[in-house]
């Protein structure tokens, strides 16, 4: 699949960080396809309801950074990945 009408690849992957396994694919879909987008929205909510945090990696001057997101609408349309990870033990 190539870039979409906006010049970007509309395929987004949801990954979950698992100790000893790294990033594990939990869902992927094309945000330009209504069925895929609905499945991604549902999976996003399911992960947050399970107590996970969500972040979108961003390019920042040769450094690895990510921007936290709390709703599906906060995910940039050109995002390639959303990473879910557990909250720190004892955190709020």
List, for residues 67-88, the tens digit of each pLDDT value.
999 999 999 988 999 999 988 7
Look at the chain and report how many structural domains it folds into.
Answer: 1
Confirm whether 5 is domain-assigned: no
Q: Which domain holds residue 17?
A: 11-86
Confirm whether 43 is domain-assigned: yes
Residue 84: its pLDDT value, please? 96
Confirm whether 42 is domain-assigned: yes
| Better-predicted residue by pLDDT, 19 or 91 | 19
String of DSSP letters for 18-78: ETTTEEEEEEEEETTSHHHHHHHHHHHHHHHHTTEEEEEEEEETTEEEEEEESSGGGS-TT
Q: Is the pTM of this model over 0.85?
A: no
Residue 61: its pLDDT value, please? 77
pLDDT (tens digit per residue) in 34-53 = 999 999 999 999 999 999 99
Confirm whether 91 is domain-assigned: no
Mean predicted lDDT score pLDDT of the chain: 87
């Amino acid at each position: 699949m190539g870039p979409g009408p906006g010049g970007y690849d509309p395929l987004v992957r949801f990954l979950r960080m698992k100790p000893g396994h790294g990033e594990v694919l939990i869902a992927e879909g094309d945000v330009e396809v209504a069925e895929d987008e609905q499945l991604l929205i549902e999976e996003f909510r399911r992960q947050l309801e399970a107590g996970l945090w969500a972040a979108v990696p961003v390019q920042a001057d040769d450094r690895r950074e990510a921007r936290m997101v709390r709703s599906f609408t906060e995910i940039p349309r050109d995002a390639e990945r959303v990473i879910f990870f557990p909250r720190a033990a004892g955190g709020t």
